[in-house]
Amino acid sequence: MLKINDINVYYGNIHALKGVSLDINQGEIVTLIGANGAGKSTLLKTISGLLKPKTGEIIFENVNVAGKLPQLIVKRGISQVPEGRRVFANMTVEENLELGAYLRKDKKEIREDFDKVYQLFPRLEERRKQLSGTLSGGEQQMLAMGRALMARPRLLLLDEPSMGLAPLLVKTIFRIIEEINKTGTTILLVEQNAHMALSIADRAYVIETGKIVADGSAAELSNSDQIRKAYLGGH
Protein backbone atom coordinates (compact mmCIF):
# COMPACT_ATOMS: atom_id res chain seq x y z
CA MET A 1 0.00 0.00 0.00
CA LEU A 2 2.72 2.41 1.03
CA LYS A 3 6.29 1.94 -0.04
CA ILE A 4 9.02 4.34 0.96
CA ASN A 5 12.24 4.10 -1.01
CA ASP A 6 15.42 5.55 0.32
CA ILE A 7 14.22 9.01 1.39
CA ASN A 8 16.52 11.72 2.69
CA VAL A 9 15.10 14.64 4.64
CA TYR A 10 17.01 17.66 5.87
CA TYR A 11 16.27 20.46 8.32
CA GLY A 12 18.61 23.05 6.88
CA ASN A 13 21.99 21.37 7.26
CA ILE A 14 20.81 18.66 9.58
CA HIS A 15 20.38 15.34 7.87
CA ALA A 16 17.31 14.05 9.72
CA LEU A 17 16.38 10.96 7.72
CA LYS A 18 19.21 9.07 6.07
CA GLY A 19 18.01 6.78 3.34
CA VAL A 20 14.93 5.42 5.10
CA SER A 21 12.93 2.70 3.35
CA LEU A 22 9.86 0.92 4.60
CA ASP A 23 6.77 -0.94 3.49
CA ILE A 24 3.23 -1.03 4.77
CA ASN A 25 0.74 -3.58 3.50
CA GLN A 26 -2.99 -3.11 3.28
CA GLY A 27 -4.75 -3.77 6.59
CA GLU A 28 -1.67 -3.84 8.79
CA ILE A 29 -0.74 -1.98 11.92
CA VAL A 30 2.89 -1.05 11.53
CA THR A 31 4.72 0.69 14.31
CA LEU A 32 7.80 2.80 14.20
CA ILE A 33 9.68 2.92 17.47
CA GLY A 34 12.75 4.81 18.53
CA ALA A 35 14.16 7.28 21.01
CA ASN A 36 13.63 11.05 21.08
CA GLY A 37 15.07 12.74 18.05
CA ALA A 38 15.47 9.52 16.09
CA GLY A 39 13.35 10.89 13.25
CA LYS A 40 9.98 9.25 13.88
CA SER A 41 7.87 12.37 13.62
CA THR A 42 9.98 13.62 10.74
CA LEU A 43 9.12 10.50 8.80
CA LEU A 44 5.39 10.94 9.47
CA LYS A 45 5.48 14.59 8.49
CA THR A 46 7.26 13.68 5.29
CA ILE A 47 4.64 11.10 4.40
CA SER A 48 1.81 13.57 5.04
CA GLY A 49 3.50 16.27 2.99
CA LEU A 50 4.30 18.72 5.78
CA LEU A 51 7.99 18.19 5.00
CA LYS A 52 9.54 17.57 1.62
CA PRO A 53 12.19 14.90 1.12
CA LYS A 54 15.30 15.92 -0.76
CA THR A 55 15.58 12.58 -2.53
CA GLY A 56 13.73 9.30 -2.59
CA GLU A 57 10.16 8.32 -3.30
CA ILE A 58 7.00 7.64 -1.33
CA ILE A 59 4.70 5.38 -3.32
CA PHE A 60 1.11 5.30 -2.08
CA GLU A 61 -1.18 3.00 -4.04
CA ASN A 62 1.16 3.13 -7.04
CA VAL A 63 1.51 6.93 -7.11
CA ASN A 64 4.61 8.79 -5.98
CA VAL A 65 3.41 11.37 -3.45
CA ALA A 66 6.84 12.50 -2.24
CA GLY A 67 6.98 16.30 -1.97
CA LYS A 68 3.32 16.75 -2.92
CA LEU A 69 1.21 19.34 -1.08
CA PRO A 70 -0.51 18.07 2.08
CA GLN A 71 -4.00 18.69 0.70
CA LEU A 72 -3.31 16.41 -2.27
CA ILE A 73 -2.02 13.71 0.02
CA VAL A 74 -5.05 13.98 2.32
CA LYS A 75 -7.26 13.73 -0.75
CA ARG A 76 -5.49 10.54 -1.81
CA GLY A 77 -6.38 8.92 1.51
CA ILE A 78 -3.61 9.50 4.01
CA SER A 79 -4.50 11.43 7.10
CA GLN A 80 -2.44 12.32 10.12
CA VAL A 81 -3.07 12.70 13.82
CA PRO A 82 -0.37 15.22 14.67
CA GLU A 83 1.88 14.94 17.67
CA GLY A 84 0.53 16.76 20.71
CA ARG A 85 -3.04 16.50 19.35
CA ARG A 86 -3.30 20.07 18.05
CA VAL A 87 -7.06 20.43 18.19
CA PHE A 88 -8.61 23.75 17.17
CA ALA A 89 -9.03 24.96 20.73
CA ASN A 90 -11.62 27.71 20.22
CA MET A 91 -13.88 25.54 18.14
CA THR A 92 -16.42 23.04 19.37
CA VAL A 93 -15.87 19.31 19.08
CA GLU A 94 -18.34 19.22 16.22
CA GLU A 95 -16.61 22.00 14.31
CA ASN A 96 -13.27 20.24 14.73
CA LEU A 97 -14.73 17.10 13.20
CA GLU A 98 -16.29 19.09 10.37
CA LEU A 99 -12.86 20.47 9.54
CA GLY A 100 -11.53 16.93 9.40
CA ALA A 101 -13.88 16.37 6.47
CA TYR A 102 -12.82 19.68 4.96
CA LEU A 103 -11.81 18.30 1.56
CA ARG A 104 -14.87 16.12 1.15
CA LYS A 105 -18.05 17.11 -0.61
CA ASP A 106 -20.16 13.98 -0.03
CA LYS A 107 -22.53 15.35 2.59
CA LYS A 108 -24.39 12.11 3.21
CA GLU A 109 -21.27 10.07 3.82
CA ILE A 110 -19.90 12.79 6.07
CA ARG A 111 -23.04 12.43 8.23
CA GLU A 112 -22.43 8.69 8.43
CA ASP A 113 -18.84 9.25 9.42
CA PHE A 114 -19.95 11.57 12.21
CA ASP A 115 -21.99 8.70 13.58
CA LYS A 116 -19.09 6.30 13.20
CA VAL A 117 -16.74 8.61 15.04
CA TYR A 118 -19.28 9.14 17.83
CA GLN A 119 -19.72 5.40 18.08
CA LEU A 120 -15.99 4.94 18.42
CA PHE A 121 -15.69 7.80 20.91
CA PRO A 122 -18.98 8.19 22.83
CA ARG A 123 -17.23 10.80 24.97
CA LEU A 124 -17.05 13.12 21.98
CA GLU A 125 -20.76 12.90 21.34
CA GLU A 126 -21.46 13.89 24.94
CA ARG A 127 -19.27 16.94 24.44
CA ARG A 128 -20.30 17.86 20.92
CA LYS A 129 -20.97 21.51 21.67
CA GLN A 130 -18.06 22.00 24.04
CA LEU A 131 -15.01 24.04 23.03
CA SER A 132 -12.28 21.53 22.38
CA GLY A 133 -9.71 23.53 24.33
CA THR A 134 -11.64 22.69 27.50
CA LEU A 135 -11.42 18.92 26.96
CA SER A 136 -9.04 16.75 28.96
CA GLY A 137 -5.87 15.46 27.34
CA GLY A 138 -7.36 12.07 26.63
CA GLU A 139 -10.50 13.54 25.12
CA GLN A 140 -8.39 15.83 22.95
CA GLN A 141 -6.46 12.82 21.72
CA MET A 142 -9.76 11.15 20.86
CA LEU A 143 -10.88 14.27 19.07
CA ALA A 144 -7.65 14.48 17.09
CA MET A 145 -8.13 10.85 16.04
CA GLY A 146 -11.79 11.39 15.21
CA ARG A 147 -10.91 14.45 13.19
CA ALA A 148 -8.37 12.50 11.17
CA LEU A 149 -10.92 9.73 10.57
CA MET A 150 -13.38 12.27 9.18
CA ALA A 151 -11.16 12.51 6.11
CA ARG A 152 -11.96 8.82 5.52
CA PRO A 153 -8.34 7.79 5.24
CA ARG A 154 -7.20 4.44 3.97
CA LEU A 155 -3.91 4.99 5.77
CA LEU A 156 -3.96 6.64 9.19
CA LEU A 157 -0.75 8.11 10.59
CA LEU A 158 -0.67 8.35 14.38
CA ASP A 159 2.04 10.40 16.04
CA GLU A 160 2.54 9.43 19.70
CA PRO A 161 -1.08 8.96 20.70
CA SER A 162 -0.04 7.96 24.23
CA MET A 163 1.87 11.15 24.92
CA GLY A 164 1.07 12.56 28.37
CA LEU A 165 -1.83 10.23 29.07
CA ALA A 166 -2.48 8.09 32.14
CA PRO A 167 -1.75 4.36 31.68
CA LEU A 168 -5.39 3.38 31.80
CA LEU A 169 -6.28 5.90 29.12
CA VAL A 170 -3.37 4.72 26.99
CA LYS A 171 -4.93 1.27 27.07
CA THR A 172 -8.27 2.65 25.91
CA ILE A 173 -6.66 4.59 23.10
CA PHE A 174 -4.75 1.54 21.90
CA ARG A 175 -7.88 -0.58 22.02
CA ILE A 176 -9.58 2.00 19.82
CA ILE A 177 -6.65 1.98 17.41
CA GLU A 178 -7.13 -1.76 17.04
CA GLU A 179 -10.83 -1.19 16.44
CA ILE A 180 -10.13 1.37 13.74
CA ASN A 181 -7.77 -1.09 12.12
CA LYS A 182 -10.44 -3.80 12.14
CA THR A 183 -12.74 -1.60 10.07
CA GLY A 184 -10.15 -1.74 7.31
CA THR A 185 -7.96 1.28 7.93
CA THR A 186 -4.24 0.64 7.64
CA ILE A 187 -2.26 2.22 10.45
CA LEU A 188 1.23 3.56 10.86
CA LEU A 189 1.83 4.18 14.54
CA VAL A 190 4.76 6.16 15.87
CA GLU A 191 5.41 5.54 19.54
CA GLN A 192 7.86 5.93 22.35
CA ASN A 193 5.85 3.51 24.42
CA ALA A 194 7.38 0.55 22.61
CA HIS A 195 5.73 -2.06 24.82
CA MET A 196 2.23 -0.92 24.03
CA ALA A 197 2.97 -0.33 20.39
CA LEU A 198 4.47 -3.78 19.87
CA SER A 199 1.55 -5.38 21.65
CA ILE A 200 -0.97 -4.29 19.02
CA ALA A 201 1.23 -4.06 15.91
CA ASP A 202 1.72 -6.65 13.21
CA ARG A 203 5.15 -5.44 12.23
CA ALA A 204 7.61 -2.91 13.52
CA TYR A 205 10.55 -0.81 12.43
CA VAL A 206 13.17 0.53 14.79
CA ILE A 207 14.66 3.88 13.90
CA GLU A 208 17.82 5.35 15.35
CA THR A 209 19.37 8.73 14.42
CA GLY A 210 17.61 8.83 11.10
CA LYS A 211 18.24 5.24 10.03
CA ILE A 212 16.15 2.10 10.20
CA VAL A 213 18.25 -0.27 12.32
CA ALA A 214 15.89 -3.22 12.70
CA ASP A 215 12.60 -4.50 11.40
CA GLY A 216 10.47 -7.57 11.66
CA SER A 217 7.25 -8.89 13.08
CA ALA A 218 6.17 -7.30 16.32
CA ALA A 219 6.51 -10.57 18.21
CA GLU A 220 10.04 -11.11 16.88
CA LEU A 221 11.16 -7.67 17.88
CA SER A 222 9.70 -7.77 21.36
CA ASN A 223 11.62 -11.00 21.94
CA SER A 224 14.90 -9.79 20.54
CA ASP A 225 17.44 -9.16 23.29
CA GLN A 226 19.01 -6.25 21.54
CA ILE A 227 15.72 -4.40 21.13
CA ARG A 228 14.68 -5.22 24.64
CA LYS A 229 17.82 -3.71 26.11
CA ALA A 230 17.68 -0.60 24.01
CA TYR A 231 14.01 0.26 23.99
CA LEU A 232 11.97 -1.81 26.36
CA GLY A 233 14.02 -1.43 29.51
CA GLY A 234 16.41 -4.27 30.38
CA HIS A 235 14.99 -7.28 32.11
Partner 1 sequence: MNGMKHTKGFWLSIVLAVVIGIVIQFLINGEILDSFYTNTLYLIGINIILAVSLHLIIGITGQFSIGHAGFLAVGAYTSAIITMKLGMPFPVAIIVAGIVAAIAGLIIGIPTLRLRGDYLAIATLGFGEIMRIIFLNMNYVGGASGMSVTHMVTWPWVISCVIITIVVITNFTNSRHGRACIAIRENEIAADAMGINTTFYKVVAFVIGAFFAGVAGALYAHNFYIIQPTNFGFLKSFDILILVVLGGLGSMSGAVIAAILLTIISTYLSNYPEVRMVIYSLVLIVMMLFRPQGLMGTKEITAFFKVGKTAKGGVQNDKHTVA
122 to 151, contacts with partner 1 by CB under 8 A? 144, 147-148, 151
Contacts of 154 (CB under 8 A, 6+ apart): 1, 61, 77, 78, 185, 186
Residue from 23, 61, 98, 202 binding partner 1 (CB under 8 A): 98
21 to 80, contacts with partner 1 by CB under 8 A? 48, 50, 69-71, 73-75, 79-80
CB of 49 to partner 1, least distance (A): 8
Specify whether the CB–CB gap between 87 and 143 falls below 8 A: yes
CB of 112 to partner 1, least distance (A): 19
Of 81-89, 111-119, 192-200, 225-233, which part binds partner 1 (CB under 8 A)?
81-89
Contacts of 230 (CB under 8 A, 6+ apart): 206
Residue 80 CA from chain centroid, whole number: 5
Specify whether the CB–CB gap between 209 and 194 falls below 8 A: no
Residue from 53, 56, 82, 210 binding partner 1 (CB under 8 A): 82
CB of 30 to partner 1, least distance (A): 19
150 to 179, contacts with partner 1 by CB under 8 A? 151
Residue 82 or 138 with smaller CB distance to partner 1: 82
**Is residue 88 near partner 1 by the rule CB under 8 A?**
yes
CB of 157 to partner 1, least distance (A): 9
DSSP string, 20-59: EEEEE-TT-EEEEE--TTSSHHHHHHHHHTSS--SEEEEE
Biggest CA–CA distance in the chain, Å, is 53
Residue 89 or 166 with smaller CB distance to partner 1: 89
Residue 10 or 88 with smaller CB distance to partner 1: 88
Contacts of 201 (CB under 8 A, 6+ apart): 29, 30, 31, 189, 218
231, 192, 189: which is closest to 30 by C-alpha? 189
Binding site for partner 1 (CB under 8 A): 48, 50, 69-71, 73-75, 79-80, 82, 86-91, 95, 98-100, 102-103, 144, 147-148, 151
